[in-house]
Chains A and B, each alone.
Chain A
Amino acid sequence: MSDLATALVFWPSAAIMLVTGLYVFRTRSMARAGLLLLASLGIEGLVFLSLASEFLGVLQLLMMSGEMVIMVFFMVMFMADPGGLMGMDMTHDKRRSAAVAAGVAAALGAVAVATDWPGTVVTGAAPDIEQIGFEVMGRSMLSFLFAGMTILFAMVGGILLAKHGGRLGIPAPAGEPRDEEGAP
């Protein structure tokens, strides 16, 4: 891609990515928040593609769609107010979380600015698939497996805690309709 085409894809994509990312926390609806996050992270795939990182871009598009749809599904399933009709707020513990967010953003920004990025220009189809394969199946295998198992445990644990009666499986108190049977 020429420099102009790269710029024409990169800057609008990056802008939409940031704006949709911001609106994730401005909306009150779980479905909207999840889909905005999907827009933000999916468009990040276009940013990768515009930077000639073909494999990462396509993979980002594929994985984010699947993951964010699962997230929408689970959020709508577990939240008491998935449509945002009762004025729920996406932000909690505002002062401290704002401080943490500002700190993390400043640290990441400092890393991005301070890093001595390589100046080589990548053109055409980068042969990165093979390198990524050897990286994932070689040196980094243990950390990827560890991360995968951690996420799996967190998912199973989250579902167990969220289901009626919590992890002990205590039946619902009398008079309160159970989710599975109560709904007409």
Chain B
Amino acid sequence: MSNWTPFAILALALGGAWAVACVEQAVAGVRVAPALVLRRAAEQLDQPLAVPAGRDAWLYHLAPPLLLVAAVVALATVPWAPGFRGVDLSTGAILFSAALAYVTPSVFMAGWGAGGPLAVLGGFRFIALMLGFAMPLAMVVTAVAAPAESLRPAAIVEVQHAVPMVIVQPFAAALFVPAAMAVALLAPFDLADATTELEGGAFSRYTGLHAGLIALARKILVLAVAGMTAALFLAGWQGPLLPPAIWMALKTGAVVAGMLWAGRRLPRFELERLLVVAWIVAIPAAIGVIVLAGLITLLFYR
């Protein structure tokens, strides 16, 4: 941790967002054109800002920066390599959940502030979705932290030196990945913007800089949840021969590609069914996962 860390994290956020956009092109089956991503972004920034007519315009203007801050803080908690991470708190795993928890109010603020019926509907859909999925996400993080006996993400990576957590706790991984995709607004959980039914939903009114910030924040979110998945379940930077940072980049890239690929293959889920799954299956299962994590810790990690 030095004075340069914030700049390194910002560079990682911008470069990572660009890389995620390129992976998106590759998964979509179009020719990968890194320059095109930048040109599209520049074109978007040229557009004028849209201003909503309602009285809550300040919520509309505040939502994109809040989403971006939440995404960057979540990214900063991910342990990228031994000794390199944005914030190295002993409670880093909780800070990750806390940063992701601010995605929900920012999406709601975007929808409510824009004031259109589809935008408000998108905001409310996302609140309903996250009420069900935020809890399993935070609970699974504690289950993974139990063997490490620490909430420091780097310690959770180090405890996986022999066996990756996805083999030790497969149920935890099975709960974490869908919840992480939901919070990162990825298809098939993209109910808040749902381009084909709500025409952009909560984000439908945004243009120009606003839209650019939201697109950037969403790509950083994808990178953050994929990085955390790689760190918590796939042993992070640990691996033979290659340097740690390369291993972490490969695993994160694979998770990003897997998540985006799943989003292209699966149809968007219906909100009511997702909520039934979240409340009746995922949350009780997450409690079971925590109990199991305690047993595993006592039996194998002591």
Contacts and interface: CB of A to CB of B under 8 A. Distances in A.
Interface of A: 29, 31-32, 35, 38, 42, 45, 54-55, 58-59, 61-62, 65-66, 68-70, 72-73, 76, 83, 125, 129
A58 to B, nearest CB: 5
Interface residues of B, number: 25
Contacts of A73: 124, 127-128, 131
A133 to B, nearest CB: 11
B112 A31 contact: yes
Nearest to A29: B56
A61 B108 CA distance: 17
B286 to A, nearest CB: 15
Given A35-B59, A65-B104, A73-B127, A129 B90 contact: yes
A65 B59 CA distance: 16
A interface: dominant SS: helix
Interface string B185-215: 0000000000000000000000000000000
A66 B98 CA distance: 9
14 contacts: A29-B56, A31-B59, A45-B98, A58-B98, A59-B91, A59-B94, A61-B101, A66-B134, A68-B105, A69-B105, A69-B108, A72-B127, A76-B124, A129-B151
Interface of B: 55-56, 59, 89-91, 94-95, 97-98, 101-102, 104-105, 108-109, 112, 124, 127-128, 130-131, 134, 138, 151
B127 A69 contact: yes
Contacts of B131: 69-70, 73
Given A70-B131, A129-B90, A129-B91, A62 B124 contact: no
